[in-house]
Each structure stands twice: as structure tokens, then as C-alpha cells.
């Protein structure tokens, strides 16, 4: 059986590496379950196996001869997880301090083989992860729903997680761990930050232990989100005050219990005093009081606390300012095993935001970035959007905290202010759907997050290139080139057809799929009206010194640059400025015309993606080809829907018409307002439940 797999894998690679110039043979149908790992995904050990078994299984898929070398004396330059590859005439030697290092080396070799990278005899390559903690955050609930999950139900079937040989019975958990290991992810937070206290009961902790045992050989540690009010819910205490002795005692006991089951448990992720979650402020205490209590309990075991900065009160005139207002006064008060986890932007995972100013504001507190891999605001699993350029834009942003070069990447890697712990998190886009992520191309975002967490310097292009070659088992440039270009432009395209020029949060309802610029909400800061502020006088949120003054949370030269309408980057214009409809843009066009034409460019781009995809049909199996094609068509229609809704609504203030170069509106405002997309925070809309559009 195994040798069969091996032979097949070898043939696939050989075929993929051949320089194909004539029409390729149509690949056999696949459901996409093997991800970027292709045939190698078949190499699953049973739960009792070790990291070295996983490594050896990988080596079985390599056509070159590999020697493994566990270094006798610790090589500081490689650390706990790094590795070195050296090629000579006999083959390649993989060296590392630990088995985990060898694990990552073996996946590197698999990647090189699938991408047909030719080794050079005499060459040496060293690779060390930039971040020590590279985590997925699952927003999965114990009842099987996934908040903002668009790929089916939760992967974790809690009711089934009871047997010892679970890995054999449910190989999906090992497959999941293996996929993460292949891209360097070394930790997973299993449950939603809106945490159900039951996750900390003995019943669930035993299940968590079962998963941890399956994940261990793959170097993947488990973490949990916690409900800050757990002492009240689970122990019947009358308080969860972090300074109360009984509460402290309960947490200490709980942490001891967790480590007795899972000796390498990673730690806690906490959403406190945010969107209705309980927290230390319920008892007049600070975020630092709350985080430190947990940090002290975890410290003896080496665990960490990731305390989220996503906090905002309903009453604030500008939600974008609030994280800095809450956390800056607490700088220096957190224990050294606390990391403040900050979303990339100051609002909420919009298609484009400036970086969160909190990254540059804490001098004596460790910070990490939280990226969203799941496409809450970018078309769910219906739209093809490659997210790496968006994350990289944030990581490469210079905060100027300590002068030029203080990028978000440098800060969170601990290069600006030395940290003990460096970390990065991505909100997972994984569910129990057969292809894991709902959209075949959404797999690229899981892949890209892991690769970026290992090496934030990798370019979007390189990651897309690797992913395509592995996932579609071809290196043919007639496929790779056009599809890669489509991926690379797709994020900007989405910005264009959803919310160009700094517009944000123009979504209908709580489902965050389609447009609803006219909508109010029970909370002002959950409503599009609060964010776009469109009226007869123009559109945009004034965050200048004359407005909410959010610009002042950025260091110079950014503060002045954003504050001045003539120097503010146009892609963020309406994020920082409220401007009249006839404001003159750099192109010489009015703001109104520019908005219309930018929407149009988004519409045109998705339309062109349909052509690109049709053009590569011979290179893709029918199954995946059809599934992607159907979704691209919906994406193209959604792009028009977005333009119609937003610009029709804005038109009711501006009184202006679409300029030349725009396709006409297809629906009027009455129709669009009546169309109500009622979806919950747990689902993606069915394609036939969306408004009818005709493609030009
Ligand atoms: O993006 C928003 C989502 C919520 C989410 C929250 C958060 C888990 O709409 O569904 O809750 O952010 O990040 O806590």
C-alpha cells in the first residue's frame, strides 16, 4: 500500500516537474481534501507515534537521499525549532537541535520537491522561525457552530472525543495537525474567544487532552480561550474578581489540573470586557489585574496569556481610538508572560485599515498581531481573495515607535524592544467541509498565514507560487502565471468593489456579507451610518485633529501625513477625512467620480478573473474547476451588488450620476433596501439566496 502511494507520489512530482508546453493531460478529480500536501497527506501515523515517525514518513515521499542529524551540542543559531539543510553529492543532510526542527526540515524538503526547486550541491540553507508562538485561533463553540466560520461545522466533534485511539478512528485530527506542521504552525487555540465556561470542566479538559496527544508528534500545542467569569459559573463563587483570594485559588487549582492532563499546555487566550464578555472591569479592576492573575497561575508551568486588545465601549465617538486609550495607561503593568493580542487594524478586520496604532504605543508590554484568516468581511467562502498582501501590508507598516524601521513585524518579533516572547495569531478559516476551508482558494490563506508566521519577509508572490504548485501539482507557467496574478490582485480588487478609498464597515446586518450602507443598529458603532457619515456635505470619518483626533495616536511623520488631506494616502482617505462629493482627487476627478470608477474597476477585475479561470481549465480537474467557477460568477455579481447599493445610497445625497466608464445600475435603492439577507454569524449565504444580477 505504502509503496503504491510512494510510486504515485513520485509520478505526480515527475509529471509536475516536466516542462509542459503542449496541452496537459486533464488531472483526475479531487475534492481538495489533501490540501497543498497532495499525496504526501496519506502519510499519517497512529496516535502513539513520535515526531521522528512523522519525519520518517515524510522522508519516504522524497526522491533524494536524506540523512538526519540531531545536533549533539545545542546550536544557538537554530534555536528550538530551526534547521539546516546541506546538499552534497550523496544527497541532503537535515540538521537540527530538536526533533521538531527535523520535522520542519522534512516539510521544507517536501515543499522543494513539489515546487521542483533544484538543489545545488554544496549549498546550505538555514531556517529559523521569526515568531516563537505561531498560532491559529479557532472561534469554535462546543455545540459545533463556528463564529464567522464559513466551511461547515467545527472540526472538533466534542461528543466523539472520548476514545484513546481517536487518531486511528478519526484521522482528521492528525491530518489537521500535519497540515499545520507542514507550514510551521505550532499552536492552536481550540475554542471561541466568546468562550463557553464548560471548556474548563473536567469533562472537556479530558477531551482537550485527547486532542493534545494526537497533535503532539506534530509539534502542535493546545491552548484554550477562557471565560473570565468561570469561577462564578463553574465553582459557584459569588465573584470572579481577580484580586479575590478564592478566585485566585480556583484559577491556580484549575491550571494545575490542566497541566496534570496536558504537561505542555500552551496557555490562555482572553477576550475580556468586550462585546458583552465578562472581565476584570466588572469588579473595578484593570485588564492588567485580570491578565496577571492568570499569568501568575501559568508561570510555574511555562504557559502564556494572550490578552486581547479588542475592547470598545458603545458610547465612544470613535471606536478606532479605544484600544490605545485602554491599554496605554497600563503599559509596564503586565507580567512578562502576558502578550497583548492586537488586531491588525484599529476597527475590525476590514478589507483595508491602517495598522492599529497600539502596535507603536507600548514600551514595556509585549504585543502580538491577530490576523483574520477567515473572510468575515471579505466575501466569506464565496469570494476568491488571497489575504497575504493585506497582512503583509500591516506587518511592513512603519510605526516609527523608535524611529524609522519600527515596523509592526519588527515590533512583534521583539526586534525593537526586546521581548521574551514573540507571537502571531490567525483566526482560522477551517471547518469540517471536505476541502477544509469552503473555497478551494481559501486554503491558500491558511497556508499563507503559516508561512508568514515562520518568515514574515516572504513575498506574497513566493507564497502564492508555492501554494499553487503544490495544490494543483503542476509547475506549468501557463497555469501558474495567470492564476498567481489573479491571486495577487484579488485583495485590492475586493477593497475596490466593497469599500474603496478608506470606506469601512458598510455591511448589512450582523452577517457581514453584503452591503447595507443605509442601516442603523442597536449600537451606533455597529452601524454603517457611524462609519461613512454620508450626507449632503460629503462622506467619510473625520479622524483629523479637528475631528476625533485619532491621527494623534500615530507617531510622526504619520500623524501629520494622515492629518493633512493632501498627503493622506488616497486608499485611506475616507478613513481619516470627511470630504465633499466634488473634492478633487489626485487624478483630477471628483471624489464622486473616483468612487464610482474605483468600484467599477473592482467589478471589471472579478469579471476578468472569470476569464482567467476559464483559460486554465485544461490544467485543473473538473471538480475543483467547476466549484471555483461557480463561486467566481457569484463574486462578480456581488461586486456589482456592492457598487449598486453603496453608490445608489450615496447618490441620494450627492444627486450625481455614474460617470462615463461605469456600467449602469441594475437595481434601484427601493429594491436593494427591501432585499434583506438574514444570515447569522455562523453561516455563509447560499448562492441562490443573493440578489439577481446580470453579468455584462
Ligand atoms: O470581528 C468581530 C466579530 C465577532 C468576533 C469579534 C472578536 C468572536 O464580528 O464575531 O467575536 O470581532 O474578535 O471578538
Residue 382 has pLDDT above 60, yes or no: yes
Decide if 341 is inside a domain. Answer: yes
Q: Is 599 in the pocket of ligand 1 (CB under 6 A)?
A: no
Task: Give the torsion sign (CA, 372, 374, 377, 378).
Answer: positive
Q: What spacing in Å lies between the alpha carbon of 337 and ligand 1's midpoint?
A: 24
Rounded CA-CA distance 492/387 in Å is: 10
Q: What spacing in Å lies between the alpha carbon of 291 and ligand 1's midpoint?
A: 20
Q: Which of 77, 111, 127 is the last residue of a domain?
A: 127
In this prediction the pTM is: 0.97
What does the pLDDT look like over 554-611, one tens digit per residue?
Answer: 999 999 999 999 999 999 999 999 999 999 999 999 999 999 999 999 999 999 999 9
* Mutational test site, ligand 1, from 276, 310, 371, max ligand atoms within 8 Å of CB: 310
The pLDDT-based confidence of 24 (bands split at 50, 70, 90) is confident
Decide if 650 is inside a domain. Answer: yes
Rounded CA-CA distance 100/83 in Å is: 9
Longest Cα–Cα distance in the chain: 75
Q: Is 377 in the pocket of ligand 1 (CB under 6 A)?
A: no
Q: Is 681 in the pocket of ligand 1 (CB under 6 A)?
A: yes
Radius of gyration of the chain (CA): 25
Q: Are residues 101 and 200 in the same domain?
A: no
Q: Are residues 293 and 418 in the same domain?
A: yes
DSSP 271-318: --SSTT---GGGGT--HHHHHHHHHHHHGGGT-EEEEE-----TT-S-
Q: What spacing in Å lies between the alpha carbon of 613 and ligand 1's midpoint?
A: 33
Mean pLDDT of 475-495: 98
Q: Is 271 in the pocket of ligand 1 (CB under 6 A)?
A: yes
Q: Are residues 318 and 267 in the same domain?
A: yes
Q: Is 148 in the pocket of ligand 1 (CB under 6 A)?
A: yes
Domain count for the chain: 3
Decide if 625 is inside a domain. Answer: no
Q: Are residues 114 and 230 in the same domain?
A: no
Rounded CA-CA distance 546/544 in Å is: 5
Instruction: Report pLDDT for 17.
Output: 63
Domain CATH for 542: 3.90.1330.10
Decide if 635 is inside a domain. Answer: no
* Mutational test site, ligand 1, from 140, 147, 341, max ligand atoms within 8 Å of CB: 147
The pLDDT-based confidence of 167 (bands split at 50, 70, 90) is low
Q: Are residues 110 and 148 in the same domain?
A: no
Q: Is 348 in the pocket of ligand 1 (CB under 6 A)?
A: yes
Q: Are residues 309 and 262 in the same domain?
A: yes
CB 663 within 8 A of CB 640: yes
Decide if 12 is inside a domain. Answer: no
Instruction: Report pLDDT for 2.
Output: 39
Instruction: Report pLDDT for 315.
Output: 79
Q: Are residues 158 and 292 in the same domain?
A: yes
Decide if 628 is inside a domain. Answer: no
Q: Is 190 helix (H, G, I), strand (E, B) or coil?
A: coil
Q: What spacing in Å lies between the alpha carbon of 13 and ligand 1's midpoint?
A: 41
Ligand 1 atom closest to the Cα of residue 510 is: 9
Phi, psi of 236 (to 5 degrees): 70, 15
| Number of other CB atoms surrounding residue 27 within 10 Å | 20
Instruction: Report pLDDT for 5.
Output: 43
Q: Are residues 115 and 145 in the same domain?
A: no
Catalytic residue among 275, 611, 617, 668: 275
Question: Is there a catalytic annotation at residue 275?
Answer: yes
Mean pLDDT of 605-621: 98
Place of cell 522534512: 106
- Mean pLDDT (the chain) is 94
What does the pLDDT look like over 36-70, one tens digit per residue?
Answer: 998 777 767 655 589 999 999 999 999 999 999 99
Q: Are residues 144 and 121 in the same domain?
A: no
Question: How far is Cα of residue 38 from the mean position of the Cα atoms in its chain?
Answer: 23
Decide if 632 is inside a domain. Answer: no
How long, in residues, is the chain? 696
Domain CATH for 69: 3.30.379.10
Residue 113 belongs to what domain range?
A: 36-127
What does the pLDDT look like over 272-304, one tens digit per residue?
Answer: 999 999 999 999 999 999 999 999 999 999 999
What does the pLDDT look like over 71-97, one tens digit per residue?
Answer: 999 999 999 999 999 999 999 999 999
Q: Is 242 helix (H, G, I), strand (E, B) or coil?
A: coil
Nearest to 665 by CA among 656, 674, 653, 677: 656
Q: Are residues 670 and 525 in the same domain?
A: yes
| Number of other CB atoms surrounding residue 457 within 10 Å | 11
Q: Which of 105, 127, 149 is the last residue of a domain?
A: 127
Question: Is there a catalytic annotation at residue 348?
Answer: yes
By alpha-carbon position, which residue is closest to atom 11 of ligand 1? 194
By alpha-carbon position, which residue is closest to atom 1 of ligand 1? 348
Q: Are residues 353 and 245 in the same domain?
A: yes
Domain CATH for 350: 3.20.20.80
Q: Are residues 111 and 194 in the same domain?
A: no
By alpha-carbon position, which residue is closest to atom 2 of ligand 1? 348
Instruction: Report pLDDT for 337.
Output: 98
Q: Which of 429, 458, 487 is the last residue of a domain?
A: 458
Catalytic residue among 376, 465, 466, 498: 376
Decide if 5 is inside a domain. Answer: no
Q: Is 529 in the pocket of ligand 1 (CB under 6 A)?
A: no
Amino acid at each position: 500500500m505504502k509503496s503504491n502511494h510512494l510510486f504515485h507520489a513520485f509520478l505526480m512530482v515527475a509529471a509536475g516537474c516536466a516542462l509542459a508546453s503542449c496541452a496537459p493531460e486533464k488531472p483526475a478529480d479531487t475534492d481538495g481534501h489533501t490540501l497543498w500536501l497532495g499525496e504526501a497527506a496519506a502519510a499519517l501515523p497512529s496516535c502513539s507515534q513520535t515526531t521522528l515517525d512523522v519525519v520518517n514518513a515524510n522522508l519516504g515521499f522524497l526522491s533524494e537521499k536524506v540523512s538526519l542529524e540531531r545536533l549533539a551540542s545545542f546550536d544557538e543559531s537554530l534555536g528550538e525549532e530551526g534547521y539546516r539543510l546541506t546538499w552534497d553529492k550523496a544527497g541532503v543532510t537535515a540538521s537540527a537541535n530538536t526533533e521538531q526542527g527535523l520535522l520542519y526540515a522534512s516539510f521544507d524538503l517536501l515543499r522543494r520537491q513539489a515546487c521542483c526547486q533544484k538543489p545545488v550541491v554544496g549549498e546550505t540553507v538555514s531556517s529559523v522561525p521569526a515568531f516563537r508562538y505561531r498560532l491559529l485561533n479557532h472561534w469554535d463553540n462546543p455545540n459545533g457552530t463556528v463564529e464567522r466560520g464559513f466551511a461547515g461545522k467545527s472540526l472538533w466533534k466534542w461528543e466523539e472525543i472520548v476514545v484513546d485511539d481517536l487518531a486511528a478512528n478519526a484521522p482528521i485530527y492528525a491530518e489537521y495537525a500535519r497540515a499545520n506542521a507542514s507550514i510551521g504552525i505550532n499552536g492552536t487555540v481550540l475554542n471561541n474567544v466568546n468562550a463557553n465556561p464548560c471548556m474548563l470542566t473536567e469533562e472537556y479538559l479530558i477531551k482537550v487532552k485527547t486532542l493534545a496527544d494526537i497533535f503532539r508528534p506534530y509539534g502542535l500545542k493546545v491552548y484554550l480561550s477562557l471565560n473570565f467569569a468561570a469561577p462564578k459559573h463553574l465553582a459557584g463563587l459569588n465573584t470572579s474578581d481577580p484580586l479575590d483570594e478564592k478566585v485566585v485559588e480556583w484559577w491556580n487549582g484549575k491550571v494545575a489540573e490542566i497541566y496534570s492532563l496536558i504537561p505542555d499546555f500552551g496557555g490562555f487566550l482572553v477576550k475580556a470586557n468586550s462585546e458583552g464578555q465578562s472581565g476584570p472591569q466588572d469588579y473595578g479592576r484593570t485588564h492588567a489585574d485580570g491578565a496577571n492573575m492568570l499569568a501568575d497561575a501559568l508561570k510555574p508551568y511555562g504557559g502564556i496569556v494572550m490578552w486581547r486588545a479588542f475592547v470598545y465601549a458603545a458610547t465612544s465617538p470613535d471606536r478606532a481610538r479605544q484600544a490605545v486609550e485602554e491599554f496605554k495607561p497600563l503599559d509596564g503593568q503586565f507580567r512578562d508572560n502576558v502578550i497583548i493580542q492586537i488586531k491588525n487594524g484599529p476597527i475590525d478586520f476590514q478589507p483595508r485599515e491602517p495598522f492599529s496604532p497600539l502596535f507603536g504605543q507600548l514600551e514595556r508590554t509585549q504585543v502580538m498581531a491577530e490576523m483574520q484568516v477567515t473572510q468575515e468581511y471579505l466575501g466569506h467562502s464565496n469570494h476568491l481573495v488571497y489575504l497575504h498582501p493585506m497582512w503583509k501590508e500591516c506587518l511592513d507598516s512603519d510605526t516609527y515607535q523608535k524611529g524609522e524601521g519600527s515596523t509592526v513585524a519588527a515590533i512583534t518579533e521583539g526586534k525593537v524592544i526586546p521581548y521574551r516572547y514573540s507571537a502571531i495569531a490567525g483566526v482560522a478559516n477551517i471547518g469540517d467541509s471536505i476541502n477544509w476551508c469552503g473555497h478551494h482558494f481559501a486554503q491558500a490563506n491558511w497556508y499563507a498565514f503559516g508561512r508568514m508566521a515562520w518568515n514574515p519577509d516572504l513575498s506574497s508572490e513566493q507564497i502564492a507560487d508555492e501554494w499553487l504548485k503544490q495544490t494543483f501539482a503542476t509547475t506549468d507557467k501557463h497555469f501558474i502565471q495567470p492564476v498567481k496574478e489573479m491571486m495577487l490582485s484579488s485583495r485590492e480588487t475586493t477593497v475596490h468593489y466593497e469599500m474603496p478609498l478608506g470606506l469601512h464597515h458598510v455591511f448589512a446586518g450582523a452577517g457581514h456579507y453584503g452591503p447595507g450602507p443605509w442601516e442603523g443598529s442597536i449600537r451606533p458603532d455597529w452601524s454603517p451610518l457611524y462609519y461613512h457619515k454620508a450626507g449632503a456635505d460629503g462622506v467619510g470619518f473625520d479622524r483629523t485633529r479637528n475631528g476625533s483626533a485619532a491621527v494623534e495616536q500615530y507617531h510622526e511623520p504619520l500623524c501629520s501625513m494622515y492629518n493633512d488631506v493632501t498627503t493622506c494616502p488616497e486608499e485611506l482617505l475616507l478613513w481619516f477625512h470627511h470630504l465633499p462629493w466634488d473634492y478633487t482627487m489626485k487624478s483630477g476627478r471628483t471624489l464622486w467620480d473616483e468612487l464610482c470608477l474605483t468600484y467599477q474597476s473592482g467589478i471589471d477585475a472579478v469579471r476578468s478573473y472569470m476569464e482567467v479561470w476559464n483559460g486554465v481549465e485544461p490544467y485543473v480537474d473538473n471538480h475543483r474547476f467547476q466549484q471555483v467557477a461557480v463561486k467566481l460568477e457569484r463574486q462578480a455579481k456581488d461586486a456589482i451588488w456592492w457598487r449598486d447599493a453603496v453608490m445608489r445610497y450615496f447618490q441620494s445625497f450627492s444627486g450625481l450620476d455614474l460617470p462615463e466608464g461605469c456600467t449602469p445600475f441594475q437595481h434601484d435603492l427601493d429594491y436593494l433596501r427591501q432585499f434583506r439577507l438574514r444570515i447569522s454569524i455562523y453561516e455563509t449565504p447560499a448562492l441562490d439566496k443573493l440578489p439577481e444580477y446580470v453579468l455584462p
